Structure 1
């Protein structure tokens, strides 16, 4: 949820927030101070956020790594169309030694996140031009000597539909999109009616908006974001995206009002602490 708040709100407000404001925001979701401090501490150790002391108060901001991940996630969450395809496949092959198994495990997670599919043991493919992401991964884990990366054409022996089915379980992704549509189309109608009647507070809209994004962003871990040409005929990702966009746009204005009110209290704290120094 902290990732969601950084991605949807905090990074648009100087990319920094007072821990007190973060605690206050997450109280809306039922999280207590101890759990928030534990979570932000883990994120700091993992290199996603960094802390700064101003006076006796702590403020948190995204690291460069965190900013890059949020930027990539935002492009995929709020995308309006499928990526175009040049007909080429990118192939990544690695031979990471056993004594560096932890790097191998981390790399697998990163490749799945970026949309790569497993063709065979240690061989991953994608139709998308992810050269920049691959270079960043090589730098991040310092594994240039263990990785080979190719730009190639597929010439058989089966068709590309079979290749896609082998590397990604799109039927499972489609089923999850269907469940999302069933659940959130009903919620959308109910909340639209409540908003029209003035029955939803700004705080409620903030919670509903954040939970909507939090739920929808889970598809980033399972949907490889394939070009239209490679998707099955009955693909529900587009319908889910349209529902998400309509629901999000309905909630975001009052949600931002609530966030801004809480955030500005922390901004005052930062200003006051700066004056003391």
Structure 2
């Protein structure tokens, strides 16, 4: 099962540190907390701690408890009873999932240089009636760096993406209905036209700029309460997960000049490196 993706803010307010809040899915925020703080071996979280942490992110207690219950029912976390209290830890499947996704979320994901001009095109067909399968295919191909060029046609300038696509198709049972082609753009169209058809770089650039404007306030760790550090960092990671899915990490040769994603990436890693230990310690101390 695919983990829920981060959602764009549906409403806003502000916490005491100026970080924009949003009425976002409680379960999606819970997945961000699990992936950010519980993927280390032996990490656990009490129910009361989860409720407090999600409350800092704008989630009401009832919604937080329901998110925990749903997540456990779907096999992502397992409960340990300690009298009247419950301790949660990731299941082995969840540990594997977060380990696989960690490189995409926390890895460098630098835009490669020295592109040789080759593309990999993938042609596949899924019946309209299989909506869930179509959604899973779209999500996972985007995660692998592909963009939709037309009905059933996906393309990526990273030829090594073909390996990831083969794995996705095999796991979804679609290998027999797919064809891949590696080569260069011919005499019709141009590389930049392909990029603009497959990806909304304009919208992505605007959202990167908004990300920087929202999270650029980096103060010293000792100048903020640990709870506020947790809130700001977790909301930042939650927003960053959206870019992991949307940004195809195109070669530098295909990006517009002064691409704002570079600055957003630098900001993310600078804040994450500085604030993660503080936020993790605060969460671990919740009873």
TM-score normalised by length of structure 1: 0.78
For 1:71-110, list aligned pairs within 5 A. Answer: 71-79=100-108, 81-83=110-112, 85-110=115-140
Q: 1:166 aligns with which of 174, 197, 203?
A: 197
Which stretch has the larger CA shift, 227-236 or 118-127? 227-236
Matched, 1:237 2:261: yes
Question: How far apart, in 2, do the equivalents of 1:14 and 1:136 lie?
Answer: 30
| 1:73–1:220 CA contact under 8 A, matched in 2 | no
**CA contact under 8 A between 1:78 and 1:245: conserved in structure 2?**
no
Map 1:125-274 → 2, pairs under 5 A = 125-128=155-158, 129-185=160-216, 187-188=217-218, 191-192=219-220, 195=221, 198-262=222-286, 265=287
Match of 1:14 among 26, 37, 42: 42
- Greater length-normalized contact order (CA 8 Å, ≥ 6 residues apart): 1
Distance between the aligned counterparts of 2:270 and 2:35, measured in 1? 19
Quote how far apart the aligned CAs of 1:4 are.
1.7
C-alpha distance in 2 between matches for 1:122 and 1:209: 38
CA–CA distance in structure 1, aligned partners of residues 96 and 275 of structure 2: 24
Q: CA shift at 1:60, angstroms?
A: 3.8
Matches of 1:15 and 1:254, distance apart in 2: 15
Q: Secondary structure at the match of 1:11?
A: coil
**Rg larger in structure:** 1
- SS of residue paired to 1:226: coil
Q: 1:20 offset after TM fit, Å? A: 4.0
CA deviations over 1:23-79 (Å, ceiling 9, x no partner):
3332333433321232234445656x1425556746341553663355335434441
Give the structure 2 partner of residue 124 of structure 1.
154
1:36 aligns with 2:56: no
Deviations 1:172-226 (A, max 9, x none): 11111112222322x22xx34xx4xx44111211111111111222212321111
From 59, 69, 78, the counterpart of 1:51: 78
**Structure 1 residue 239: Cα displacement:** 0.9
SS at 1:166's partner residue?
Answer: helix
> Aligned pair count?
255
More helix by share: 1
Report the aligned-residue RMSD: 2.8
Confirm or deny: 8 A CA contact 2:45 2:284 kept in the other structure.
no
Structure 2 gaps, min length 5: 1-28
Unpaired runs of 5+ residues, structure 1, are 266-277
Specify whether residues 132 and 154 from structure 1 end up closer, same or farther in structure 2 by C-alpha distance, changes over 3 A only.
same
1:123, distance to aligned residue in structure 2 (A): 0.2
Contact kept? 1:17, 1:61, Cα under 8 Å: no
Partner of 2:39, secondary structure, is helix
Moved more, 15-24 or 120-129: 15-24
